[in-house]
Every structure is written in structure tokens, then in C-alpha cells.
Amino acid sequence: MTSIQAEFSKLKRSASIVIVFLLPVVSVVAGTTSTLMAEGGLEEGWHTLWVRAIGFYGMLELPVGVAILASLVWRVEHKNNWNALMNTKISTRQVVLGKIVVVGVLAAVMQVVMLAVVTALGMTLGLPGTVPVQYVWASLIVMLAGFPLAAWQSALSSWSRAFAPPVAIALTLAGLSVGALLVAGRAAIVSPYALLTHATQFGSLLSGGGRTSFPPAFLTLDGIGVVVVTSLTVTVLIWLAHSAVLDRADIRS
Amino acid sequence: MNFAIQTSDLTKRYGDRVVVDRIDLAVPVGSVYGFLGPNGSGKSTTMKMLLSLVRPSSGDATVLGRPMNRQTRRDILGEVGSLIESPPGYHHLTGAENMRLIQRLLGLDTRQIEQAVRTVRLQDQLDKRVAAYSLGMKQRLGIAMALARQPRLLILDEPTNGLDPAGVEEMRDLLRRLAASGITVLVSSHQLGEIDKCATSIGILSRGRLIFQGSRDQLLAQVTPDVVIECSEVPLAAELLRQQVTARQEGHVVRVRGADSAGVADAVARLVHAGIHIFEVRREGQTLENMFLRLTEGRGL
């Protein structure tokens, strides 16, 4: 637990806070503007707003956001703290877990911000009531599904001393995973990128048939169960593998 | 004797390049061990192997009585403080925040933190961000972070690097105080004068090999200082002496290397016999710097 707390105290004055708030705002506003301009506008109210907001966000911006967060979190270690990080009695697994949790939680907060921005936007546009509860559930699933990607990007960022390569890898693999989702459907979620994108599709089916580019995910026991189990399994596997690799490798500095 | 660190045949190879070559380090408990050598001689790599940050290609290390390897390292490291290469510390946080981080991480109490900070005399600078620290302050913060866990062994890699003379003196004073409190300190430097005055043991590394290990006195005794002869007809004198000993002309004097007392008497007799006037014969004071130049074959430190 202590290494997790320690990771959070490193966030003070960190640029990651800016990312967490800025990215969803920009993404939601950009994603919905064209719809608002178009004829018909928010035909199905909150549902249309959500589908337009989540589409691009789940496909690219959220995965890339997680990559940026992981690079930011590791950057302070690469500067001059690797030796110190590896030179305490705290085990490598604890150190790696601390990073996964802090990136995962930041990504989860980003989803909360995204939900808040959609809610605020909908209310500003005069939509009745508030955001439907199914999107709150969907957001909870997204928050969980962010952890495997947090673990994976954290591993990449621990190896790359430079900031950009892990983000570029995220951009590429997120793109490929979108393709995999379209071709292979739910089987593609063994890729953490595809899993996260898939998770953003929960409840995103409009009654008029309008949707994002993906086969929608349904808030059923099966639909949720698969994502939960995959998220937990993949996170733990990456965590253990990353720790084992770090424990065997010579430190590079 | 008890040793805080012992290695046998410790070796690190990167491909064909041998960076550390079969060294047998023996750091006595309670000593300040000056680990000296030119840049690139393998000091940092050795220290990283002692901490198992880098795995030896062959040979092994015992630290605080236990074999140091990937399985045991985290256990042993609870009692070892270290500062390797650039000083650690999160630059976007203040000194106090950095210390709190260590406190939380290692489960230390506030008294331990305060004591470590006082030891390095950083108590008045804690509210500044580390980004605004001078290099000397960063070094001291790094040492405070290493000290806070109250280690039995402290491993410091070039802690005087980049410090001004006052900072170097302060670091020496700190090392002495740490040793007085019973901590074993292994400290590396490529500049001899910075460490030798407070080191109780010295090891010299050159091109990956440990070419000397022992006390300061043993080191001084190892190499006989040069004898300088001021005389008339210097070139002739030098030539005469060269037949018997290593001698060369150096300006207006002849410098004789490696001559013991009998050798000096012999040389003088020979010169006098040849009708050369002798004005002065003196043995040079031995400085460690000279010795290092010789031991490391002129590569300097």
C-alpha cells in the first residue's frame, strides 16, 4: 500500500492533472460539435450526445491519454531516480503495482471527468433530466478496463527513457486494435487497447440504430463479466511479467 | 576482521569488454573506504553490482554478511543506503515532500527523517523545490534520503562531483561524522585529494582491476619517493646514474626513481667520484597524487 500512496504524492504539481481534465473536455466538445451543427442534432437526446462523445474518445483519445499519463508518471523516475527506486527494501512488484494503480486511477478520473463534461454539456443544451444511469454503469466498466492498458503502457514507459515512443506505440496499436475489433469482434479484447475501446461501447446503441463504428457492448451479465474478468486477468499478468523482467534485467542508467 | 563488503573475483563483461575484472574487495566494518580510480575505471559498475542493480558476469559479493543477489537484495537493502550516479530526488517536489515520500515508503518515523536532514544540514532548505537546489544541496538531499533508513552501510558514488571546495570539505566532514557514528561508508571518487584525507581504507581501481587495497599508510609505503639531486654537469650526471638506476635529467636537477638509502649513497659516491659537484640531495615528500599517477600508469585520476 505504501508504494501506492507514494506514487500519488509524486503527482503534486504534475502535468498529469492537466491531461486528466483537459483531454476529456477537448474530446467531448470536438466529438459532439459536428453533430450539433448537423441537421437533426441530438435526435435521441442524451443517447445521441453520449454516442457522439464516446466514439472518438474511446477509440483513440482515451488509449493515447493513458499512454501519456504512463509516460508522465515514469518520466520523473527516468530523470534521476531509477537507482533510488530500485534501491530500497520495497519489492519490485510493489513498485510496479504503485505505477499501475496511479496510472489506472488517473485514467479512471479522466472517465469521471468525461461523464461530467457530457452531463454539463447536455444540461447546457437543455436536454431533459440528467445523463441516463446506464452511462454511469458504462463509465464504471471503462474505469476498470483502463487498468490493463495502464499496466501495459506503464511497462513500455519504464523501458523507454524518452517520452514519445510509448505514446507513438499506443497510437499505432490503438489503431490496429480498432481494426481487430471490427474484424474479430469481442475476441480482440485480449489487446488492452481493444478491451478499453470495447468497454467504451457499453450502452452506446441508439434505438434508431445509430451507433459508433463498433458492434455495441451490452450491459448484460455476460457482457460485463467478460470485460471484468479480462481486465483483472490481463492486469495481473502484465504486472507479474513486468516485475519479473525488471527483477532480472540490469539497471540502465 | 569483520567486513561489511567482501567480493571474490567480481567481474562484469559487456560482450568482449571487461569493465570490472576479478576484483576482491574487502571493506572493513566501521571504515570509510575510499574507492578511487579514473573515470571509466569501473567504480560505478562495481557499486551497482554490490547493490545488485547490475548482475555480475562471474564472481560474487557478500554484503553485511549475506550473499547479494536478486533474491536477497531487497532484504539486505533495508540496511544499506546508497547514492549512485546523479543524486535522486523528485525535482517538482520540495525537499520536505521528498523526505516525506521516503518516510512513507519505508515506514520511518519523523525523528529519523529530522535526524537525517540535520546530519546533512539541509533543515533550512526543505521548503524549496529540488529543481531550485544547487548540485551540492541535491547531493545532500540524496544522502539524507539514504541516511533516513539508518543504514549500517552507506554506498556513495562520487558524492563530491561538481561541488566547490567548501562543499567538498563539508562532504569530508560529513563522512567523518558518519563513520564516527558507526556506519561503514564506501565512497568513490576520481579525485584523490577529495577523499583520501578522511578514508581509513583505500582501494584503487584502474581499467577494471583493483591495483591496490589497504590503508593510507600502506599505500604511501608502497612506492619509494623519487630522489632529486642538484649538481653540476647535470646531463653527464644523469647519464652516469642511468647505468645503475632509473634516472633522468629534469631541468637543472637529476631525478632518481626507486632508489633506497643504499642506492642514494651509491649514486652520490659515483657522482663525486666522477668529479661532479653535489649541491643538494633530497627525497621528495610523497604525495598520494604522485603515487596514483604511478600506480595508474600516468592515466591520472
Helix (H) or strand (E) holding B146: helix B135-147
- Residue-level pLDDT at B191: 77
Could you tell me if B181 and B274 lie in one domain?
A: no
Within a domain: residue B301?
no
Highest mean pLDDT out of A21-25, A48-52, A149-153, B76-80 = A149-153
Torsion of Cα atoms, A96 then A98 then A104 then A105, to 10°: 180
pLDDT at A219 over 80: no
Which tens digits make up the pLDDT trace of B68-78?
999 999 999 99
Rounded to the nearest 5 degrees, what angle is found at the Cα of B5, between the Cα atoms of B3 and B6? 85
Lowest mean pLDDT among A112-121, A150-159, B99-108, B291-300: B291-300
Query: Whole domain around residue B79: which residue ranges?
Result: 3-221
d(C-alpha A87, C-alpha B82), whole Å: 7
Residue, of A253 and A173, whose pLDDT is higher = A173
- CB nearest A87 (choices: B82, B87, B92): B82
Within a domain: residue B293?
no
Specify the residue for cell string 505504501. A2
- Residue-level pLDDT at B219: 78
Rounded to the nearest 5 degrees, what angle is found at the Cα of A103, between the Cα atoms of A97 and A105? 95
- Residue-level pLDDT at A213: 59
- Residue-level pLDDT at A204: 67
Q: Report the residue of B90, B104, B138 to disrupt the A interface, i.e. the one with the largest count of A CBs within 10 Å.
A: B90
Residue, of B166 and A121, whose pLDDT is higher = A121
pLDDT at B212 over 80: yes
- Residue-level pLDDT at A208: 55
Which tens digits make up the pLDDT trace of B84-124?
988 999 999 999 999 999 999 999 999 999 999 998 889 99
Cβ(A194)–Cβ(A204) below 8 Å: no
Helices A133-159 and A92-124, axial angle in degrees (round to 10): 140
d(C-alpha A150, C-alpha B249), whole Å: 71
Cβ–Cβ contact A1 with B under 8 A: no
Could you tell me if B187 and B229 lie in one domain?
A: no
CB-based burial of residue B69 (10 Å sphere; 0-12 exposed, 13-18 middle, 19+ buried)?
middle
> What's the rounded mean pLDDT across residues A216-236?
85
Averaged pLDDT score across all residues of chain B? 89
Cβ–Cβ contact A186 with B under 8 A: no
Within a domain: residue B65?
yes
Could you tell me if B213 and B234 lie in one domain?
A: no
Could you tell me if B123 and B200 lie in one domain?
A: yes
Could you tell me if B53 and B190 lie in one domain?
A: yes
Q: What percentage of residues in chain B have a pLDDT greater than 90?
A: 62
Which tens digits make up the pLDDT trace of A12-26?
988 999 999 999 999
Within a domain: residue B300?
no
> Does A80 sit within 8 Å of B105, measured CB to CB?
no
- Residue-level pLDDT at B301: 45
Residues 109-148 in B contacting A (C-alpha not used; CB under 8 Å): 142, 145
What type of residue is A211? R
* DSSP structure string for B81-142: EEE-SSPP--TTSBHHHHHHHHHHHHT--HHHHHHHHHHTT-TTSTTSBGGGS-HHHHHHHH
d(C-alpha A220, C-alpha B164), whole Å: 68
Q: Where are the domains of chain A?
A: 2-248
Could you tell me if B250 and B135 lie in one domain?
A: no
Residue, of A50 and B196, whose pLDDT is higher = A50
Cβ–Cβ contact B86 with A under 8 A: yes
CATH number at residue B104: 3.40.50.300
- CB nearest A2 (choices: B54, B86, B107): B107
Cβ–Cβ contact A252 with B under 8 A: no
pLDDT at B299 over 80: no
Within a domain: residue B291?
no
Contacts of B90 in chain A (CB under 8 A): 10, 76, 81
Contacts of A6 in chain B (CB under 8 A): 101, 104-105
Could you tell me if B27 and B138 lie in one domain?
A: yes
pLDDT at A146 over 80: yes
> Does A9 sit within 8 Å of B106, measured CB to CB?
no
ipTM greater than 0.90: no
Averaged pLDDT score across all residues of chain A? 89
pTM of the model: 0.84
- Residue-level pLDDT at B86: 86
- Residue-level pLDDT at B187: 95
- The SS3 call for residue B213 is strand
Q: Report the residue of B53, B80, B149 to disrupt the A interface, i.e. the one with the largest count of A CBs within 10 Å.
A: B53
Overall domain count for chain B: 2
CATH number at residue B245: 3.30.70
> Does B107 sit within 8 Å of A10, measured CB to CB?
no
Residue, of A215 and A222, whose pLDDT is higher = A222
Within a domain: residue B290?
no
- The SS3 call for residue B221 is helix
pLDDT at B277 over 60: yes
pLDDT at B52 over 90: yes
d(C-alpha A229, C-alpha B262), whole Å: 87
> What's the rounded mean pLDDT across residues A238-246?
96
Cβ–Cβ contact B85 with A under 8 A: yes
Task: Kindly indicate the confidence band of residue B142, based on its pLDDT and cuts at 50, 70 and 90.
Answer: very high
Q: Report the residue of B82, B92, B127, B128 to disrupt the A interface, i.e. the one with the largest count of A CBs within 10 Å.
A: B92
Could you tell me if B36 and B71 lie in one domain?
A: yes
- CB nearest A88 (choices: B70, B86, B106): B106
- Residue-level pLDDT at A211: 56
Could you tell me if B147 and B233 lie in one domain?
A: no
Within a domain: residue B295?
no
Contacts of B100 in chain A (CB under 8 A): 9
> What's the rounded mean pLDDT across residues B173-181?
88
Lowest mean pLDDT among A26-40, B55-69, B136-150: A26-40
- Residue-level pLDDT at B152: 95
Could you tell me if B125 and B265 lie in one domain?
A: no
Task: Kindly indicate the confidence band of residue B300, based on its pLDDT and cuts at 50, 70 and 90.
Answer: very low
Contacts of A12 in chain B (CB under 8 A): 92-93, 97
Task: Kindly indicate the confidence band of residue A229, based on its pLDDT and cuts at 50, 70 and 90.
Answer: very high
Q: What percentage of residues in chain B have a pLDDT greater than 70?
A: 94
- Residue-level pLDDT at A45: 86
Could you tell me if B275 and B233 lie in one domain?
A: yes
Highest mean pLDDT out of A95-99, A198-202, B238-242, B269-273 = A95-99
Could you tell me if B10 and B47 lie in one domain?
A: yes
